[in-house]
Structures are given as structure tokens and as C-alpha cells.
Structure 1
Amino acid sequence: METKLAAAYIRVSTEDQAEYSPDAQLSEIRKYADAHGYRLPQAFVFVDEGISGKHTGKRPGFQQMIGLAKTKPKPFEAILLWKFSRFARNREDSIVYKSMLRRQLGIDVISISEPLGDDKTSILMEAIIEAMDEYYSINLAEEVKRGMTEKARRGGLQNSPPFGYRAEGNLLRPIPQEAALVRELFRRFAGGQGLFPLAKWLNSLGVTTHRGGRFENRTVEYILRNPVYLGKLRWNPTGRTGRDFDSADLILADAGHEAIVSQELWDAVQARMLQVKAQHKYHGRPLSEHRDWVSGLVRCVNCGSTLVFAKPHYWKCNGYVRGRCKTAQHISDEKLKGMILTRMGYDAAGGPALTYTIVYPHTGGLDEEALIRAQQKQLTARLGRLREAYLAGVEDLEGYKTAKKAMDAELAALDARLAKLTHLPNQEAETPEAEPFRCAVLLADPEQPLELKKAAAHAIMDRCTLDKEANRLEIYYRLYLPE
């Protein structure tokens, strides 16, 4: 009998019993291979443990096997499975991958416990087996979800303990050091500090998340919006909550663990969160931290990530940099700014109706004087915090002097700009189309300070979307309504 090379794919999910372990499956597969003339090298054994078969994209062993199968010459003649359900519990995935393997690559997919031939009846039986596997997966998911929903309504713990708590049995217990930091986060945010400064403060203390990571804006926001610190538990039966903290699907129930913050402090934080959210893109960095007026404005049309600066003078999709996006959107600083200014001029000159995405009460559109005064207020507040840091011993004298000198220079530049403030062309126009023109004039003026350009760009534009391949940039403007 001719010996042919074969691969083995083994998947063990959390609901599988001990007799379906990887070793048990591999033992049966090797017996089948020996009896049917297949040689099974250890390098061709692919295993996914504790992973659902519903989606192939989340199975690294499966993806590695498919990638190897596509190489030429083909590395093996067949893929041996314990059952077809190990291959996929989704009919669409099963059909796509089996068709590719059998018809395009000439690699058979064989279930050793469900022997089928090449006749019409076997084709029908395989389709029925796939349908039953998918039905089992869907039914199991519904039963698990039903049980988890009922547990959530009773206030049962279902997630890993958040920052500030540890789990003892089925109950959360405060970790004193972390609980103190959580209370301080709530107090500082209620007192006016932003998410970005709070994340920097925690990182400066050397504190890490429970997964060992650094704190980010969204990490701090999640803490401030998590009712677990009130003695409650939140769960979303439809899936991950993400950043939709106000979803109607959320289940909120009283739990038996100790609260870390008071109801009054919680209410104050939520009230400020709503206020800041209505007025600013509060999850982003403060404008003073941006390196350029483009920062935080331009997004990749494919994945929605912002473009970040890459040395020496380029911008790239942050999703691409982090491996989440397939499109780099690599573009020079000069070309990107040119596209933005050209688009603003086109919009102001009678292009298609401007797209507005944010509506909230405001005293006006692009008010240069108001923008300068806002920058002065922000810098003054930063000087106060810098002085507090120095007095508290967080900042040394040399660092304090250097930072203060830079801030004083920024304040002096703003004071000078305010003193000789002149009206931009068409400033008195009341049409929305005048705003892009006035902002473009300011951004193109090399004499204007960077801080003013940052404020102006973010005051009028909510975001831009860039599709470099199509050479297309769209701007979504902010709409200001008088109070």
C-alpha cells in the first residue's frame, strides 16, 4: 500500500469531556492513519485547545494548517479529523474551506469516526452532519446565554475582577491599595481633571492593570463608568459592551460586594462625564498634548483609526501600526495638510452640502478670541498643576523651571496674539460655508501659533476620513447652535 502524507487537526472546546482530549483524538487518528496508508508527521499535527469551532478566524492552529495547505507542492494529501464538528461548527466556514481544500488544492478532509464515500448519498450525509453540528453549537450557545443572563439578574459574578477588587469564591473583595487609587480617580475627575492626565498620573506611580498593562484614556474611562464600584454588577447578554455604557441591553443588578465609592461621588462623576462628552471628544488627548493641528483629526477610511505621526515627516494609520488594519494610508505631512486645506476651500466654494456630525449648544463657530482665551485658561491651569507637583515633590526644581519657562513663553505668545487680533476675511458672514474658509485661512498662515491652529482645527472639524488609494479626503464639520 502506498504511503501518503496526512495532517491531523484537533480541536478541544471547553464543553468537551475528558475522553475527547487532544491525546485521545490524536491516538484514534494515528490508528486510522496506520490502517489506511497515511503517514502522520508530528509537524503536521495542529491543535486548538479551549477554543470554540464557531469562527475559524480565532483558531491559530486551524489558520496555520490552512496556510501550510496552500503551499506548493502540496505538503499532504488529506486532513484527518476525529469528527467533522472539530473542523467547523459553522456551515459557511465548513463549505468554504472544504471546497478550497478539495477542489482547488486536491486535499481531502476525512472524519475518522464518520466514514463517508464519494457518492451522492455521502455528500448528503456530510451536509446533514454539518447542519446538526451548527444546530448543536447554536443551541448550546443559547442555553449558556440563558443561564448567564439569569445569573446576571441575581447579581452573580461572571467576569474577571476589575481593578480595585479580587475574587474570593463568587464574591468580589476590595484590594486596599487599588481601592484607594480608584477613589482618588473618581475624586480627581469630579474635581476637573481629564482622562489623559489621570492615565499619566497612574502610570507615573508605576501602577499597572490586572493584565499588567499601562493605563490609557479608555482604561480610566471604563473605571469611572463601571458601576461595580457602587456594589453593582453589569453584564451585556448581547455580547461585549465596548464603549456603549448606556446600552438598553445592559443588565445591572445589586451584588453582595463592598462598594468603593459613594453614590454622591458616582453621581458627580457621571454628571461631569455627560457634560464633557457633550462638549469635547473627551476620550482623546488634550489639544496641548498634540504634536500638530492634524493630530486626532484624520481617520483611516477602512478601519476608523486615527493617523499618527511617523518620522521623519509622514502620517500612518494607527490600526496598521498596531497590526489591526491592512492599509497603511502612508502619506507625507505636506500632502496631508494640503489635501485638508484644498478640501476646505472646495467645501467653502460651493461643493456638496457640508456634512455636520455634532450638534450641541455653543456661543458661536470659529471665534478666534474665544479660542485664544480658552488656550490661556488651559495653560494657566497647567501651570497651577505643575506648581502643585513641584510642591508635592513629584517634580524636581530643574524640571519645574524648564516646564514653567516653556508655558510662560506660550502664554506670552497668546497674549501678543490677543493684543493685535485682527478679523479674518469674511469673518462676519453668517453662512456655515464661511467657517471652512476662515479656518483654512488661519491654518495656512505660517504666522499663526500652533496652539491657535490646534484649537481652530478641532473647533470646526470633528474628523476627516482619508482614502489615499482613491485620493479622497472628506471632512465632517461640527455644527454649532446658538444657546
Structure 2
Amino acid sequence: MLPKQTDYKVGMYLRLSRDDERQGESLSIENQRRILTNYVQENGWSIYDTYIDDGISGTTFERPGVQRLLDDAKSGKINLILCKDMSRFGRNYIQVGQYVDYLFPMYNIRFIALTDNIDTANSDSASMDMMPIMNVFNEWHCANTSKKLRTVFHANAKAGKYMATFCTYGYYKADDDKRTPLIDPEAAAVVQRIFKMRASGMGHKSIADALNQEHITPPLDYKYDKLGRTYPLYSHHLWNAQTIRRILDNQMYLGKLVQMKETTVSYKNHKVIRNDESEWVIVENNHEPIISQELWDKVRERDRSVSRGRITTERITSPLSGLCYCDSCGAKMKMQKTPESKSPYSYRCGLHVRYGKSFCTSHNIRGTILEQLILEDIRRQIDFVTNDDKARAKYLARKQGNIALVMAEDNKRKREIEKRLDDLGKLMQKIYEDRVLGNMPDKACAELLEQYQQEKEDLQAELNELRKRFDGYKREEEDVDEFIRRLKSY
């Protein structure tokens, strides 16, 4: 029991979360204030202060209002905490219990949750006995609400509803139900240019430097300019390599809507974590793309290169810079300027340049010769796909080599496995029927079922592996088709 007090200095706590707003006026801040104020006046107490958290979940106690309330309680400025119900104070049953059962009695603070009939001055009441259960129920409500919201978010993402607060740079939201992204011509032109610069061999920082030199507005400033507001945080208002990298990795520019990339640890822990890529929700052809698949693939190829490519003092990157390897040792070739020769630059073995002749011989090739050889080969390939009806089959044969024989064997094995799996299903069903009819002993039934089940699992694993290989064969065909399409386009 708390020591008897008559002079109460009341701290009224009011809280409204976004979920509570759906329930209407009954839980509004003003309604809570009116109910609690009337109760204080009826009892002849005085209100020291009102503490409000508007739009904040009760699962966390990192709320400005509740923290100020607790500080005033510990310093003795208030000795009675009044709220409309237990869920207003909090929905984390462990923390609520710690405050009500331990902390408040330590500081001789009375706690009242009005509509729940919770009053720590009357510890023998039935409501006080029920308080732990009420706290658990309040937390269960949060857990259940969180689960429902996650389900709704996932369903909206699969339906192609764009849920981001602000649209990705290069787009703006339409007024339809799905808030479909529409192309913003001014920003989209910058996005296209960034992809082309990266595909040409420029590094992320070099691209950012080029945009800054031309005083092109970076994405955040551009967004706030469109809103007619000033960017609220401190910023240099410049492009940087990280911004360029985010744009180049964003599949939205291909017309794909990629959502559910991040989530929180739980309804209690709001730390944002990144989902595994397999959990992302991707809607293909959701909106008009800004860049082509071909340009996207070129950027990915550039990213896979071990070198970004060298930029000369004239701010020019050779088309082959970062893509050439020494035929003798396999090391990356180093581009060097050769002003007195017929070619403005040449390529030398990087291993020889760094470590000398002990590791690789001194040899080089002029850039103009290498580019001419490649150009001739491209023209020869174009002529081949244009004039030879069997070009596709020949490319596939060259790419797959002796794989045709392997594919035939895999296909035969696949048919054998599928037939055996079908037979096993029938055998297992027959065993069950015999067991039910009493035609087979329990022990024999169990042994046969275990044997067949193990065989079924082994065959299924082998079948899955074969299907993966067939997917690989199919991708090779798609690669050849894309290669031919690109040749014809040029």
C-alpha cells in the first residue's frame, strides 16, 4: 500500500497512435483530456502538467511526452499519474509492469488508469489483480495489428501499389489508386545520362564531379524544389558517389516496381533491416522505363570489371579501358599515353609495369590497332547474323560445345526419374490401402514406406538439380538470342 496522501499534483498523460486514429473521436487527444480533467476536478486535485504523445506507438517508451512525465515523477514534481486506460500508458507488458509495480511505488507515486479501474492506491481490487493480464492483452493487440499491417503492405506491393512516401528521382506519382510512377522529363534526362556515363567507363565519383561542375541539382534538393520548400537538413547540395551508386542500382528505372526491400526487427524493435533479395516483391512492367535493358546490362558489365577504367587528363575514357587482359599472364592491361606514336594510347601488361620483367615480358599493343580489330570482328558478326539463316544454331553449338550430348542424357534421366516418382506414389498409396485392410503387418508397412520415402527424396533432389541445369541451358539460349538482337540493332 502507498502511504496516504491528500495533496495530489497530477500529471495527465495523453497518447494517440496512428492506429487509434481509425477508431474516431472516442480516443482523440481532446476527448482524453476532457475525461481526465473532469475526473481531477471531481476529486479536488490540481493538475501540474499535461504530457502528450501524438501519433506514437505504445510499444516503445522512447516517447518525448512519457519521458518528460517520468522525469517529473522522479524529481517529485508530480505524485499522481493519470491516464485514460492502460494502453494509453504503454503496450509493452514488461516495461509497463516494471513502472507500475516497482518504479512508481519506489517514488511514492500513485498511478490511475481510469476506464480500466486501475488504481495503485487500492492494490486489493479485482482490477489490480487483472492488470498483468490486461497488459499482456494490450501487447497482443499490437502484435496482431503489426501482423495484419505487414500482410496488407505485402498484398499492396504484389498488386503494384507504390507505397513510398516520395517518388524515386526521375518519376512523380500519378493520381490513380496505385500511385503509378510517371516520368519526370527533366530528372529522367539526368538519370539516362548517368547510366550512359557509367556504361562508357566513368567511375561513380567522376560522374558526380561532372554533374557538380555543371551545377545540376542533386535529387534531394530537386525534390524539395518541386515541393517549394528548402531542404531542412545541413547539406553541401552536391552530388556524391553514393547517390550515383544508388541510382545505378535502382531497378525502378527498368519499369520494375521493387518493394519490401526493408523491414523492422519486430513491432517492439523498430530497427530497420534489409530483407534478403528473395523476399523482395518485384512487379515487372509496372510503369514506363527510363532506360533500356541493354543499357542496364552494359552498366552491370562495367561493374563486374575489376577496373573502372582510366580517365585521361582530357577527361576521356577509352572504350576498352579496364577490359583488356594480358594474354601471357592474365593480368589487367594498363593504358598508357603514347603522344609520339600513331595512337594516342597503348596497353601494356600491368604486372610487368608494376613488378618488372621477372613476372611478365615487356609487350604492348596500340589502342587504335586493338579497336580496329574489335570493330572488324563486330562487322563480321553482324554480316554473319544478317546473311546466314543458321547463325543462331551455329552460335549455340559454339557456345555449348559437346553439351548437346549431355542435354540428351539429362533429358532421358529426367523422364526416368519422373516415371519412377509416379510409380513410387502409387506403391505408397497401395501400401496404405493394404495396411488399412489388414493385408500387411505394421512392421512390413513401416519398413517399405521408409524405404520408398527415402528413394523418393533422393530422386526429387536429383530431379531438382537436373531442372537447374536445364534452366542454365535455357539461359544460354536467351544469351545467344540477346547477342543476335544487339548485333542486328547496330
Q: How high is the TM-score relative to the length of structure 1?
A: 0.53
Contact 1:164 1:175 in 2 (8 A): yes
For 2:250, the aligned partner's letter is N
For 2:216, the aligned partner's letter is L
Alignment of 1:181-196 (within 5 A): 181-196=190-205
Alignment of 1:318-337 (within 5 A): none
The Cα offsets for residues 357-394 of structure 1, whole Å up to 9 and x where unpaired, read as xxxxxxxxxxxxxxxxxxxx86xx2633399xxxxxxx
Q: What 5-or-longer segments of structure 2 have no aligned partner?
A: 225-230, 265-270, 318-353, 360-490
Alignment of 1:4-23 (within 5 A): 4-16=8-20, 17-19=23-25, 20-23=27-30
Matched, 1:38 2:22: no
CA distance, structure 1, for counterparts of residue 155 and residue 132 of structure 2: 35
Contact 1:4 1:77 in 2 (8 A): yes
The Cα offsets for residues 108-153 of structure 1, whole Å up to 9 and x where unpaired, read as 3321211123127433311111111111111111111111111111
1:104 is aligned to 106
The Cα offsets for residues 444-482 of structure 1, whole Å up to 9 and x where unpaired, read as xxxxxxxxxxxxxxxxxxxxxxxxxxxxxxxxxxxxxxx
1:158 is aligned to 163
Alignment of 1:368-387 (within 5 A): 381=311, 383-385=313-315
**How far does residue 242 in structure 1 lie from its aligned partner after superposition?**
7.0
Contact 2:15 2:53 in 1 (8 A): yes
Q: SS in structure 2 opposite 1:205?
A: coil
For residue 182 of structure 2, the aligned residue among 159, 173, 178 is 173
Contact 2:9 2:80 in 1 (8 A): yes
Contact 1:149 1:237 in 2 (8 A): no
Matched, 1:122 2:131: no
CA distance, structure 2, for counterparts of residue 164 and residue 125 of structure 1: 56
CA distance, structure 1, for counterparts of residue 209 and residue 100 of structure 2: 50
Contact 1:10 1:47 in 2 (8 A): yes
CA distance, structure 1, for counterparts of residue 55 and residue 285 of structure 2: 29
For 1:226, the aligned partner's letter is N
With over 3 angstroms needed to count, the CA separation of the structure-2 counterparts of 1:163 and 1:245, relative to structure 1, is farther
For 1:184, the aligned partner's letter is R
Contact 1:12 1:21 in 2 (8 A): yes
1:229 is aligned to 253
Q: SS in structure 2 opposite 1:248?
A: helix
1:258 is aligned to 288
Alignment of 1:8-407 (within 5 A): 8-16=12-20, 17-19=23-25, 20-41=27-48, 44-57=49-62, 59-70=63-74, 72=75, 74-99=76-101, 101-116=103-118, 117-119=122-124, 121-160=126-165, 161-169=167-175, 170-202=179-211, 204-209=215-220, 210=223, 212=231, 214=237, 215-236=239-260, 239=263, 244=274, 247-254=277-284, 256-273=286-303, 275=304, 381=311, 383-385=313-315
Higher helix proportion (structure 1 or 2): 2
Q: SS in structure 1 opposite 2:277?
A: coil
Q: SS in structure 2 opposite 1:15?
A: helix
Q: How high is the TM-score relative to the length of structure 2?
A: 0.52
CA distance, structure 2, for counterparts of residue 46 and residue 199 of structure 1: 47
CA distance, structure 2, for counterparts of residue 382 and residue 100 of structure 1: 70
**How far does residue 6 in structure 1 lie from its aligned partner after superposition?**
1.5
CA distance, structure 1, for counterparts of residue 7 and residue 208 of structure 2: 61
CA distance, structure 2, for counterparts of residue 221 and residue 422 of structure 1: 33
**How far does residue 36 in structure 1 lie from its aligned partner after superposition?**
2.7
**How far does residue 190 in structure 1 lie from its aligned partner after superposition?**
2.5
Identity fraction in percent: 26
CA distance, structure 2, for counterparts of residue 87 and residue 120 of structure 1: 20
Aligned-CA RMSD value: 3.6
Which moved further from structure 2: 5-14 or 213-222? 213-222
**How far does residue 56 in structure 1 lie from its aligned partner after superposition?**
2.3
Higher strand proportion (structure 1 or 2): 1
Q: SS in structure 1 opposite 2:263?
A: coil
CA distance, structure 1, for counterparts of residue 126 and residue 113 of structure 2: 16
For 1:171, the aligned partner's letter is T
Contact 2:262 2:272 in 1 (8 A): no
For 1:181, the aligned partner's letter is V
CA distance, structure 1, for counterparts of residue 102 and residue 211 of structure 2: 51
Structure number with the bigger relative contact order (C-alpha 8 A, sep ≥ 6) is 1
The number of residues matched between the two structures is 290
CA distance, structure 1, for counterparts of residue 111 and residue 56 of structure 2: 20
Contact 2:261 2:277 in 1 (8 A): no
The Cα offsets for residues 45-90 of structure 1, whole Å up to 9 and x where unpaired, read as 2222222222223x222233333333x3x11012221121112122
Contact 1:89 1:134 in 2 (8 A): yes
**How far does residue 226 in structure 1 lie from its aligned partner after superposition?**
1.9
Q: SS in structure 2 opposite 1:252?
A: strand
With over 3 angstroms needed to count, the CA separation of the structure-2 counterparts of 1:192 and 1:259, relative to structure 1, is same
With over 3 angstroms needed to count, the CA separation of the structure-2 counterparts of 1:197 and 1:89, relative to structure 1, is farther
Q: SS in structure 2 opposite 1:239?
A: strand
For 2:66, the aligned partner's letter is F
The Cα offsets for residues 161-209 of structure 1, whole Å up to 9 and x where unpaired, read as 1111111222211211111111122222232333334445555423341
With over 3 angstroms needed to count, the CA separation of the structure-2 counterparts of 1:173 and 1:4, relative to structure 1, is same
**How far does residue 244 in structure 1 lie from its aligned partner after superposition?**
4.9
With over 3 angstroms needed to count, the CA separation of the structure-2 counterparts of 1:244 and 1:192, relative to structure 1, is farther
With over 3 angstroms needed to count, the CA separation of the structure-2 counterparts of 1:129 and 1:188, relative to structure 1, is same
